[in-house]
A and B are shown apart, each in its own frame.
Chain A
């Protein structure tokens, strides 16, 4: 068995390595599985492709001057891009430093993905004063609720560190996916417009998260011989597909608000009063 390390790039690839090692799929003191068992050339190709796509997305936003329109999303993308580049550099220059900094980067990227959700919710709801806070309210409530009642109980059960890591990634992916579905459902119930940028961000992230859920569940249940090589390839493939969707969706900027013909400046100031009247009328109707 070859002991040469495979350096995956980006959060999902690093999680793949971590779980391989944590489940005992790699050597005890290495962070990633042997090359022969994880299709090293394929993952390396996918890693480089992802790096390229991330670079293209950032370059397009910079050229189109819309980096500031999605500050949290592009901050996340830059974090992953620089982290991945740093991981490559660390692999060649100082493998020990890379191993040490792995956990920090891993936790940061896991939490940073929530920033993409906040960005999406802001972009959908922020232009409308009546529901401006709704996106963040939903995102915060679901995150806290799932963390307390879904993620923490799984981590409180005694078990192997690898099992805990797989549960953490899987359950946080479920939480993020539920947030996306809830945001979409609420936006649809109010007939809020959805542009290509926001839709693409959600479809890409949804694809990545749903494959993450299945991949980590299978990794937790099956052994290395059954699922080891597939596990290491599914993550990078789904992340690359996610980046492809983001590249197409964010090729050019579309404004979040499409103004109605009847909308006039000053209309927004009347919204609280009208909302109050709507609620009073409905309350009277319910009392009957």
Chain B
């Protein structure tokens, strides 16, 4: 009986997803909707890159928390930076999606024409989209100062042989 219920649930889920996701719609810029909280400027100018660096730079936060000893202020800064980081990532995603939606005005081409280039472009678009989704998830869960690539601290669970230099150092300190 379990497979019957499992397949019935799967079929119901598929039907709901298809009906929800297949709603006819227009792209936001055509429908006149606001595209995200902000929009990435057309020119990737220095000011915009500076803003990004400041959002993801943890120096201010660490200075407030460790040197000035204002943990609550540091926490407030962290939450405001988190909001800004999410806004920035959403804006980047909206601009990227707008770029992807650039239509081709040239006459219809076959799939075979420039197929490798088309596959490479599609792969780049998917890669960027996946990384953006991942970055948004990490920022939402852990904040803007978390490493996007895991540090793999679990490796330390495995005992490592001491380095030769460390052994020599301990030997030397004992001798002197």
A→B interface (CB under 8 Å): 122, 126-134, 136-137, 170, 174, 177-178, 180-181, 184-196, 198-199, 202-203, 206-207, 209-211, 213-214, 217-218, 221, 257-263, 265-268, 270-272, 274-279, 281-282, 285-286, 288
Contacts and interface: CB of A to CB of B under 8 A. Distances in A.
Contacts of B15: 206-207, 210
Contacts of A137: 119, 122
A189 B129 contact: yes
A268 B25 contact: no
B157 interface: no
Contacts of B23: 194, 199
A279 B99 CA distance: 13
Interface range on chain B: under 10, 10 to 19, 20 to 34, or 35 or more?
Answer: 35 or more
B127 interface: yes
A132 B118 contact: yes
A235 B4 CA distance: 17
A165 B16 CA distance: 27
Interface string B102-144: 1111101001000101110110111111011101000000000
Contact of B125 (A131, A258, A277): A131
B67 to A, nearest CB: 22
Contacts of B24: 194-196, 199
A195 B26 CA distance: 8
Contacts of A217: 3-4, 7-8
Contacts of A170: 7
Contacts of A261: 29-30
A137 B1 CA distance: 36
B26 to A, nearest CB: 5
Contact of A133 (B26, B44, B96, B122): B122
Contacts of B105: 263, 265-268
Contacts of B132: 282
B7 A133 contact: no
Contacts of B51: none
Contacts of A210: 11-12, 14-15, 18
A73 B131 CA distance: 35
B17 interface: yes
B118 A278 contact: no
Given A180-B18, A261-B29, A213 B10 contact: yes
Given A128-B100, A207-B15, A268 B118 contact: no
A193 B7 contact: no
B99 A278 contact: yes
5 contacts: A137-B122, A186-B126, A191-B28, A193-B26, A275-B125
Most-contacted residue by chain B among A127, A198, A276 (CB, 10 A): A127
A271 B111 contact: no
A274 B14 contact: no
Given A127-B103, A194-B23, A275 B124 contact: yes
Given A126-B108, A133-B122, A271-B100, 15 more contacts: A127-B104, A130-B100, A134-B122, A180-B14, A180-B18, A199-B24, A206-B14, A210-B14, A213-B7, A213-B11, A214-B8, A266-B105, A275-B125, A282-B132, A286-B148
Given A133-B122, A203-B18, A206-B14, A263 B8 contact: no
A180 B13 CA distance: 13
A91 B33 CA distance: 57
B97 interface: yes
A277 B95 CA distance: 13
